[in-house]
Structure 1
Amino acid sequence: MKKYGFAFLIGVLLLAGCQQNTDQTPCDPTPVSIKAPQAEVATLKQYIDSNRIAATADERGFYYVIHAPGAGAKPTVCSNVTVNYKGQLTNGEEFDSGNQVSFGLNQLIFGWQEGIPLIAPGGSITLYLPPTLAYGAQAQPGIPANSILVFKIDLIRVN
């Protein structure tokens, strides 16, 4: 991982702590339904359009490009997944990356909870996330507050 990798992962887990599944509390398999505010969606759309990115808009306010759909059963928010990923700011600066990293989706930012289930194992997706579906007003190591984030994710497997 990059220099901020460990801090980023800790931040992901701490930020999502209120969503974390425990053995005593079963995971709610209902898909996430958080929507980004219209102002964030408009800013993200401007980025998508100005960079001529052929992305699909999701009704929840993020954009995505599926590079490969994968095959088999898609994960749910209750799934534990193994991924390769790279996170970037809109200026192209990479703030984190990881290979063969496993997470419970319910422990991650909303954009990952909503975006990763769009593909199956072996699939690849790029997510363009507005701040509300990423870290919002909470700055993270290498990530300014209220940042649009770009994640390139390969879903290796659903564990």
Structure 2
Amino acid sequence: MKRFFLLGGLFLVLLAACTKKDNLPAYDAIAQYDTDSAKIVAYLAANNITDVKHDPRGIFYQIINRGDTKDSANAAAFVTVAYKGTLLDKTMFDSSDSLSIGLNQVIQGWTIGVPKIGKGGEINLFLPSIYGYGPNAGRIPANSVLIFNVKLKNFVNR
């Protein structure tokens, strides 16, 4: 019986080794970030979008309205937002008039960007793909630069 399990385990190891996806290119996050950043800069220039800042962590953002500046959401806050997500070609891929969710449960670009405004604030986020869905984008194209308009209706810091 032990021999059967050892042979079965060896078979699984060999099967896993043989199904390795050697034909796929390696994902280079730094090169992808550089490519995405160049696309964002070109998009901003082509659309005359000004007053965009580049966060040291790597996202681009434009504050439309700071909102209540007495307090802001932290990275673990539970937020209620209205938002619209588009691609660079202006294709809308998602939106909501009222989404309630933890900022630790969303893409990293939101976790970094939403705390830059207070309650009642509005921000445009221009996100390199590594701050969105990266190569595992699901229903949108892999490595897509994402643009979000987010209005922060309310939040509770945790």
* TMscore range, shorter length: 0.7 to 0.9
- Rounded Cα–Cα distance in structure 2 between residues aligned with 1:85 and 1:64: 14
Matched residues in 2 for 1:74 and 1:155: separation? Answer: 10
**Partner Cα distance (2:95, 2:137) in 1:** 18
Q: Find the counterpart in structure 2 of residue 137 from structure 1.
A: 135
Q: CA RMSD in A?
A: 1.6
In structure 2, distance between residues paired with 1:39 and 1:97? 26
Instruction: Report what 1:122 is aligned to.
Output: 120
AA aligned opposite 1:147: S
| Residue equivalent to 2:24 | none
Task: Report % sequence identity.
Answer: 39
Match among 134, 153, 158 for residue 156 of structure 1: 153
**How many residues of Structure 1 are paired with residues of Structure 2 in the alignment?**
124
- Unaligned runs of 5+ residues in structure 2 are 1-29
Measured after TM superposition, the shift of residue 50 of structure 1 is: 2.2
2:39 is equivalent to residue 43 of structure 1: yes
How far does residue 43 in structure 1 lie from its aligned partner after superposition?
Answer: 2.5
The answer to whether 1:64 aligns with 2:54 is no
Bigger fraction of residues in helix: 2
Q: TM-score by structure 2 length?
A: 0.73
Flag as ranges the 4+ runs of structure 1 deviating above 2 A. 35-40
Unaligned runs of 5+ in 1: 1-34
> Which structure would you say has the larger RCO, counting Cα contacts within 8 Å and 6 or more residues apart?
1
